[in-house]
Structure 1
Amino acid sequence: MADLIVRTSLTSPFGRKPRLAAFVLGLAERVEVQVADFFDETDSLRTQNPLGKIPTLVLADGSTLYDSRVILEYFDHLAGGGRIIPSEPAARFAALKLQALGDGILDAGVLRRLETMFRDEAMWSQRWLSYQSGKMNRALDALEAAPPSDTEILVGEIAVACSLGFIDFRLGDDWRAGRPRLAGWLDRFAARCPGFAETMPR
């Protein structure tokens, strides 16, 4: 029975992170996904999270947690700890660093998306778009040089997979060109990660 509610959209890459983590940790049956509209002033999201951002986790007692990184840590706690966030310091900080890289790709990609969503094309700042694309390309090159693990599914792998899925779904960049190791990693991750297909953006 679901006692946890994730307020998100079905296309949000940050919202996909806790949805995917729930499958990985065996918590999926406890998690209900409720679609939130952060543009709607009447949506209860704004009382659940004063920032009005997704994802927001609503607990059984009505209290809330946000953002995706906090929710993933809470899910790891519910699953006994040390499952997707290692307890050993070196492994823990390596996982958190990789998560930061994946989230950084998403941050830059979302800023690109917003620039083209909310401005007429004639008003797009090409300098801004290039700046954000530069961040993404440097991060993707770093991942090509050192792909994530093929054996573990930690917060870092989850974040990177969600960031690559977002690029495919929203931006259409050919990130695979010149990055065969990273492309191969995502294919293998998709095949072995519980919930990967179920959480695809749609």
Structure 2
Amino acid sequence: MKLISASPSPFARKVRVLLHETGQSDAVEVVDVMTTATNTNPEVAAANPAGKVPALVREDGPTVYDSRVICRFLDAKYAAGLYPESRIFDTLTLEATADAMMDAALLMVYEHRVRPPEKVFDGWVDAQWGKVARCVEAVNGRWMSHLNGPLDMSHIAMGCALGYLDFRLPDRNWREGAGALDDWFAVFSARESMTATAPV
């Protein structure tokens, strides 16, 4: 199998962290590409018609894309147990929360990277940050018992989301008022799977 990836992408990082955590990094070839929302890499477009990474190219079936679909596929393939049935909806909801944070942060980055400076809509940027801030507040207030429990896919997704905020939006300071989440991330981000997949 071949993973079409981009080092800065938090969605692609989710998959790479899963592979590290399950000891399957050598089972999937990671192909790092350069692609943007306005200039899609042809290899990415061929793998995923939406032109997004990650995409998992299989030899025995159609390409699998969308990070949540890929993660479910690999979790099932390797019997990793990262989507535990006993708390499946908590895991899926927290993973969705992390993905929403990544989506909003990515839109903030694109607003400045793709638009000419005179066309940047600050109100749009602030609205996206509002989504991130509400998610951080909710996780810090309601989800810490889950994050402090056994590892599942929601931990990986949240770690990648917070890592992306630090990587692309360090001046926004998501940590303010989120001490419990900050403490959790300090420990989680030191995992070998996280340091090995840090964006560059």
TM-score relative to the length of structure 1: 0.90
Tell me the distance in 1 between the aligned counterparts of 2:156 and 2:174.
18
Tell me the distance in 1 between the aligned counterparts of 2:15 and 2:41.
24
Equivalence map 1:14-29=2 (5 Å): 14-29=11-26
Q: Secondary structure at the match of 1:44?
A: helix
Q: Read off the aligned partner of 1:156 and give its amino acid letter.
A: S
- Name stretches of at least 5 consecutive residues in structure 2 with no aligned partner: none
Q: Read off the aligned partner of 1:198 and give its amino acid letter.
A: A
Tell me the distance in 1 between the aligned counterparts of 2:119 and 2:91.
39
Tell me the distance in 2 between the aligned counterparts of 1:42 and 1:157.
30
Matched, 1:122 2:122: no
Q: Which runs of 4+ in 1 moved over 6 A?
A: none
Q: Read off the aligned partner of 2:153 and give its amino acid letter.
A: V
Tell me the distance in 2 between the aligned counterparts of 1:10 and 1:62.
25
Tell me the distance in 1 between the aligned counterparts of 2:156 and 2:13.
9
Equivalence map 1:12-51=2 (5 Å): 12-39=9-36, 43-51=42-50
Task: Identify the residue that residue 83 of structure 2 maps to in structure 1.
Answer: 85
Task: Identify the residue that residue 154 of structure 1 maps to in structure 2.
Answer: 152
Alpha-carbon contact 1:36-1:43 (below 8 Å) kept: no
Q: Secondary structure at the match of 1:185?
A: helix
Q: Secondary structure at the match of 1:11?
A: coil
What is the CA-CA distance between 1:121 and the residue it aligns to? 2.4
Tell me the distance in 2 between the aligned counterparts of 1:126 and 1:11.
23
Task: Identify the residue that residue 138 of structure 2 maps to in structure 1.
Answer: 142
What is the CA-CA distance between 1:155 and the residue it aligns to? 1.4
Report the count of equivalent residues.
195
Deviates more, 1:91-100 or 1:182-191: 182-191
Q: Secondary structure at the match of 2:56?
A: strand
TM-score relative to the length of structure 2: 0.91
Deviations 1:151-188 (A, max 9, x none): 42211111111110001101112111221111100012
Tell me the distance in 2 between the aligned counterparts of 1:137 and 1:26.
33
What is the CA-CA distance between 1:22 and the residue it aligns to? 0.6
Tell me the distance in 2 between the aligned counterparts of 1:22 and 1:98.
20
- Name stretches of at least 5 consecutive residues in structure 1 with no aligned partner: none
Matched, 1:55 2:51: no
Change in Cα spacing, 1:112 to 1:56, as seen in structure 2 (3 Å) is same
| Between structures 1 and 2, the one with greater helix share | 2
Tell me the distance in 1 between the aligned counterparts of 2:101 and 2:49.
25
Tell me the distance in 2 between the aligned counterparts of 1:38 and 1:94.
33
Q: Sequence identity, in percent?
A: 32
Q: Secondary structure at the match of 2:138?
A: helix
Alpha-carbon contact 1:5-1:34 (below 8 Å) kept: yes
Deviations 1:135-159 (A, max 9, x none): 1100011111132422422111111
What is the CA-CA distance between 1:42 and the residue it aligns to? 6.0
Deviates more, 1:63-72 or 1:53-62: 53-62
Q: Read off the aligned partner of 1:144 and give its amino acid letter.
A: N
Tell me the distance in 1 between the aligned counterparts of 2:164 and 2:136.
13
